[in-house]
Amino acid sequence: MSSVPKNKEELYRAIKLNSEKILEDYLSIPKEYAHKNGIEGNVKGAIINVADTLAYLIGWGQLVLKWHQLKSEGSDVNFPETGYKWNELGQLAQYFQLQFKSWSYSHLILEFAVTIAKILSLIESLDNHSLYGTAWYEKYTLGKMIQLNTSSPMKNMRAKVRRFKKINQI
């Protein structure tokens, strides 16, 4: 399998595999470390915690689902999100972190798993042409947009979380 999914099956496998790997890392982190800062954030100079990384992944996953729902209904979509431009992704990450700040670590883990299950279900419900056969947003296919905003960020966050675990001897 290529590192960048090119069809429905590869996309499904990439998200499933990357979500399982990072979920295993999250489950191995004691809850007392969940809110300990020590991970490089998405805004220059920002230091975040493990719970914030979960909020980031949940936020992007839920956005992907929202985009699909709105487009399916024929509604306009404000990409990437209402009030944010593509060059403001750091601020969007901070919005996700704020949105889930009061959630417990176990609730965040559960919400991440539920969000990923919904994304996998969405992929299963679509055919390969719907995912990769036509442009969905500008030049990007729906499959590419899903991959760029789920699987790829999971790989990136996993490296950061694993570095945090190593530094904290977890």
89-94: long-range contacts, CB 8 A cutoff, minimum separation 24: 89/42, 90/41, 90/42, 90/43, 90/44, 90/46, 91/43, 92/59, 93/41, 93/42, 93/43, 93/56, 93/59, 94/41, 94/42, 94/43, 94/46
| 2 has pLDDT over 70 | no
Per the structure block, which two tokens stand in for 72?
A: 């399916």
Token representation of residue 129? 């042409």
Q: For the segment 66-102, what is each residue's pLDDT rounded down to a tens digit?
A: 999 999 999 999 999 999 999 999 999 999 999 999 9
Per residue in 8-41, pLDDT (tens digit) is 999 999 999 999 999 999 999 999 999 999 999 8
Q: Which of 4, 5, 12, 16 is nearest to 126 (CA)?
A: 12
pTM as predicted? 0.94
- Average pLDDT for residues 46-68, to the nearest whole number? 97
Helix or strand holding residue 24 (H, E): helix 8-28
